[in-house]
Amino acid sequence: MEKADVAFCTLIFQAVEHISNILGPLLIVEFILFFLFIGLTLEKAFMSTHRIILGIETSCDETAAAVTSGGHTILSSVVWSQVATHHPYGGVVPELASRKHMEKIVPVVEKALADSGTDSNSIDGVAVTCGPGLVGALLVGLSFAKAFAYARGLPLTGVNHLHGHIAAVYLEPDPPPFPFVALLTSGGHTNLCYVAGPMKFEHMGQTRDDAAGEAFDKVAKILGLGYPGGMVIDQLSQQGDPDRIRFPRAFLDKTGFDFSFSGLKTAVARYIQGEKEGTLRIPDIAAGFQEAVVDVLVQKGISAAKAKSCQHLALVGGVASNRRLRERIKESAQEAGIAVHMPGPELCTDNAAMIAAMGYHQLRKRKNSSQPESAAGERWRTVLDLDAYSKTSHSGRLGVVR
């Protein structure tokens, strides 16, 4: 307690004592109740600030908006997928992605607001993905979010897409307690990270080349299964034998937590070239490939949790919706005495609820910080100088939010 606080408390105490001598003990009870009431009201007002967050996500090929409350409850979540647009090209075409985001951002946000049962006047803050991602696609979400926040005088925060993926577990009914280890596996990233607090991320390892989801997509293309490949390989593998073809498991023998999936993709391509066309059993190839990815992810994830003596492991990102991966990691975690937390598939792939969940913590931190007021005296005014690129986008590493 600071000197001024002690002096203030002493003054209050002396005043109460003085009044009680004059008016008797009944009044003391009334005074206590009065101060209790004031305290609770202030606490409630504090907690309600920045509770309702509008999240916006346009980093790749999903236009998404969501409204969350308190950083843990989803009031609405709308995801408009561009799969049909990019399907004929066998992958995401960045220019087309930007144009589709521009077309869809307004109706998607309007639907998210309508579904949430709130109107734009109830929003306390705006959170938007600021990277990593396709620059043109990010710019659409960022520009919209800046305009929305500026027009309403709301605070705005830029969220690192990878932090957003991890924050998807904060939306679960039973989120992991801190600290936990997160295995983030998506189309653009494969990372292992120690999460010490809602905004404290410590990098443990990452892929040296292709991400796991990228490998799924490329192998699906090699097998002529179309785009996006993860879901198709997942389904097709159910008809295949995962043990008939053994593909390489890169880096499994290494003690570190880095990954490599590009050799596995090449191994599948070589296998196909070496086989006679009539003898190819695509479901077996798909199942064998999937098993190799799953083996590496499960073993690295569990050993990362053990290395950090963590009893909780979170599995997040688009690939975390893979049926076989979910099954295998659950089994292995149980054997190791580790609790595994996996958001539902709709929260694993790109969405805006996870961005709002992360944004909630960032805005609260800003609100609680002892930053001096700006020259204009408007401490929580919209920040309009967000970069399209995140500071971490080039290395793909996860750092502490500042």
Is residue 237 a contact point for ligand ADP (CB under 6 A)?
no
Is residue 230 a contact point for ligand ADP (CB under 6 A)?
yes
Residue 71 or 132: which CB sits closer to ligand ADP? Answer: 132
- Closest approach of Cβ 235 to ligand ADP, in Å? 8
Residue 154 or 285: which CB sits closer to ligand ADP? Answer: 285
Among 229, 242, 288, 301, binds ligand ADP (CB under 6 A): 229
Tell the burial category of 277 from Cβ atoms under 10 Å away from its Cβ (0-12, 13-18, 19+). Answer: exposed
CB neighbours of 11 closer than 8 A, spacing ≥ 6? Answer: none
- Closest approach of Cβ 67 to ligand ADP, in Å? 20
The tokens 């967000």 sit on which residue? 386
Question: Is there a contact between 140 and 101 (Cβ–Cβ < 8 Å)?
Answer: yes
Alpha helices in 90-174 (DSSP H): 94-116, 135-152, 161-167
Is residue 141 a contact point for ligand ADP (CB under 6 A)?
no
Other Cβ atoms less than 10 A from the Cβ of 234: the count is 18
**Alpha carbons 314 and 196: distance in angstroms, whole number:** 13
| Stretch near ligand ADP under the rule CB under 6 A, chosen from 74-82, 150-158, 202-210, 212-220 | 212-220
- Closest approach of Cβ 318 to Mg ion, in Å? 6
Q: Which does 231 bind (CB under 5 to 8 A by kind): ligand ADP, Mg ion, none?
A: ligand ADP
- Closest approach of Cβ 228 to ligand ADP, in Å? 4
- Closest approach of Cβ 324 to ligand ADP, in Å? 8
Q: Which does 216 bind (CB under 5 to 8 A by kind): ligand ADP, Mg ion, none?
A: ligand ADP
Chain residue at closest Cβ approach to ligand ADP: 318
Angle at CA of residue 281, ends 278 and 283, nearest 5°: 155
**Alpha carbons 119 and 345: distance in angstroms, whole number:** 28
Residues from 374 through 393 that contact ligand ADP (CB under 6 A):
none
**Alpha carbons 220 and 232: distance in angstroms, whole number:** 8
Interface with Mg ion (CB under 5 A): 186, 350
Among 64, 126, 231, 287, binds ligand ADP (CB under 6 A): 231
Question: Is there a contact between 359 and 53 (Cβ–Cβ < 8 Å)?
Answer: yes
- Closest approach of Cβ 60 to ligand ADP, in Å? 4
**100: which 2 tokens?**
């589709």
Closest to 328 measured CA to CA, from 183, 162, 206: 183
Among 63, 98, 116, 349, binds ligand ADP (CB under 6 A): 349
Is residue 210 a contact point for ligand ADP (CB under 6 A)?
no
Is residue 57 a contact point for ligand ADP (CB under 6 A)?
no
Q: Which does 237 bind (CB under 5 to 8 A by kind): ligand ADP, Mg ion, none?
A: none
- Phi, psi for residue 308 in degrees, rounded to 5: -100, 10
Closest to 210 measured CA to CA, from 269, 156, 253: 269
Q: Which does 393 bind (CB under 5 to 8 A by kind): Mg ion, ligand ADP, none?
A: none
Other Cβ atoms less than 10 A from the Cβ of 329: the count is 24
Among 180, 194, 216, 380, binds ligand ADP (CB under 6 A): 216
Binding mask 307-336 toward ligand ADP (x if CB under 6 A, else -) reads ----------xxx-xx--------------
- Closest approach of Cβ 182 to ligand ADP, in Å? 13
Binding mask 157-196 toward ligand ADP (x if CB under 6 A, else -) reads -----------------------------xxx--------
Orientation of helix 282-307 relative to helix 262-274, angle to 10°: 160
**Alpha carbons 251 and 241: distance in angstroms, whole number:** 24
| SS3 assignment, position 272 | helix
Give the 3-state secondary structure percentages of the chain, helix then strand then coil, rounded to 5. Answer: 50, 15, 30
**195: which 2 tokens?**
């999460």
| SS3 assignment, position 109 | helix
Rule CB under 6 A: which residues touch ligand ADP? 60, 186-188, 213, 216-217, 228-231, 234, 317-319, 321-322, 349-350
